[in-house]
């Protein structure tokens, strides 16, 4: 629904400098279409590149009135707050956007199209509200159809939630496209869908249909893809996390040919809510073996997908420490280990696409 060329204004109230704004920050880094302004009253007037570290030259303004002169067509909620509800301080800018004729895109759990205040604003012809976190219609139980696809299917699996699975896939796609390869991306979370314009919000799907929803999304993205094409499936959650159920339907639905492990450098325990009992991340060789074993089940083709490389998130490290940890892990695992955001994804792409 969100056209790739539509001028966007990001609603990033209080999220420009922290993880609550990860959806909008991901769009700033990876959206190919125009982002004409970012709204964050806490940082209005500051230099966005200096604030975020993302190479971009987008004005940072205080409210929707200041953003409208830049010509946006769509307002996108860029926050991923705890509980998935629209922050109160953002409501006036949403109303202003709708009254000014802008469409609205949101990946929050709360459905903005059903909000009584927003529903009072009459929409013009062609204006819309897209609550993308909804279960698709006409879902079916998965039947391993993706196993018959001729293309490579790379699934990102993580040692925890929010370690950079989407970023790793998008960096791989960027590297593949730069080499002239046919590369497609399947978004499975709000940021990935907003960036690519397609996919499935996996956490909005009932468990019986979760694998089927992934299967349908991968089949749609793979139309016309030949043996040389690579389809990158955004991972969600982790087999290591006690609150996550997403990895299994992603494996079942996509029937991956290859796996990419994503891990945050130095992390030893999964991140859970404050006060919860700590849960350790197993040694990575053990985690790799487990992922490979689970991915080999439920397949009609007998394929046993392998982890081809590790995308290491080194955002919290300096350059020297990042290089040292990547090398140590590569020596331990016998696999290529690189931070695709920091160092580019060319090496990871070569590993993923190497003959089995």
Locate all alpha helices (DSSP H) within 222-337, ordered by sequence: 247-254, 284-295, 319-333
Q: Residue 313 forms beta bridges with which residues? A: 264
Q: Is the model's pLDDT at 302 over the cut of 80? A: yes
For the chain, give the mean pLDDT.
96
The string of pLDDT tens digits covering residues 113-164 is 999 999 999 999 999 999 999 999 999 999 999 999 999 999 999 999 999 9
pLDDT at 308 over 80: yes
pLDDT of residue 102: 98
Question: Per-residue pLDDT tens for 46-105?
Answer: 999 999 999 999 999 999 999 999 999 999 999 988 778 899 999 999 999 999 999 999
User: Residues spanned by CATH 3.40.50.720 within the chain?
Assistant: 8-131
Cβ 311 vs Cβ 168: under 8 Å: yes
pLDDT, tens digit (0-9, with 9 covering 90-100), for 148-160: 999 999 999 999 9
Domain 8-131 has CATH 3.40.50.720: yes
Q: Rounded to 5 degrees, what are φ and ψ at 155? A: -105, 130
Q: Which CATH architecture has domain 145-353?
A: 3-Layer(aba) Sandwich (3.40)
pLDDT, position 355: 86
Contacts of 241 (CB under 8 A, 6+ apart): 160, 161, 270, 272, 279
Which residues, 6+ apart, have CB-to-CB distance to 199 below 8 Å? 186, 187, 188, 192, 193, 217, 221, 234
Domain with CATH 3.40.50.300 in the chain: 145-353
Asked if residue 212 has pLDDT above 90, the reply is yes
- The rounded percent of the chain whose pLDDT value lies above 90 is 94
């Amino acid at each position: 629904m969100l056209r790739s060329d539509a001028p966007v204004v990001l609603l990033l109230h209080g999220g420009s400098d922290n993880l609550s704004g990860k959806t909008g920050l991901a769009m700033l880094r990876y959206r190919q279409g125009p982002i004409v302004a970012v709204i964050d009253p806490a940082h209005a007037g500051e230099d966005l590149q200096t604030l975020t570290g993302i190479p971009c030259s987008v004005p940072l303004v205080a409210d929707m009135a200041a953003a409208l002169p830049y010509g946006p067509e769509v307002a996108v909620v860029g926050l991923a707050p705890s509980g998935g509800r629209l922050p109160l301080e953002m409501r006036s800018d949403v109303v202003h956007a709708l009254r000014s004729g802008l469409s609205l895109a949101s990946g929050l759990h709360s459905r903005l199209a059903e909000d009584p205040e927003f529903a009072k604003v009459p929409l013009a012809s062609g204006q819309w509200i897209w609550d993308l976190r909804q279960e698709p219609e006409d879902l079916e139980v998965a039947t391993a159809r993706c196993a018959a696809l001729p293309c490579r299917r790379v699934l990102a699996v993580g040692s925890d939630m929010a370690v950079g699975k989407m970023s790793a896939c998008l960096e791989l796609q960027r590297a593949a496209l730069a080499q002239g390869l046919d590369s497609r991306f399947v978004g499975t979370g709000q940021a990935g869908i907003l960036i690519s314009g397609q996919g499935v919000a996996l956490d909005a799907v009932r468990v019986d249909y979760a694998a089927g929803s992934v299967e349908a999304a991968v089949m749609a993205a793979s139309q016309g893809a030949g043996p040389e094409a690579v389809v990158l499936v955004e991972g969600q959650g982790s087999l290591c996390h006690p609150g996550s159920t997403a990895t299994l339907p992603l494996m079942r639905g996509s029937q991956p040919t290859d796996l990419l492990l994503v891990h945050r450098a130095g992390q030893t325990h999964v991140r859970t809510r404050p006060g919860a009992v700590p849960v350790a991340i197993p040694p990575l060789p053990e985690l790799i073996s487990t992922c490979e074993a689970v991915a080999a089940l439920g397949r009609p083709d007998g394929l046993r997908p392998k982890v081809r490389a590790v995308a290491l998130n080194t955002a919290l490290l300096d350059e020297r420490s990042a290089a040292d940890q990547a090398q140590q892990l590569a020596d331990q695992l016998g696999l290529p280990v690189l931070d695709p955001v920091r160092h580019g994804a060319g090496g990871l792409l070569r590993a993923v696409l190497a003959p089995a």
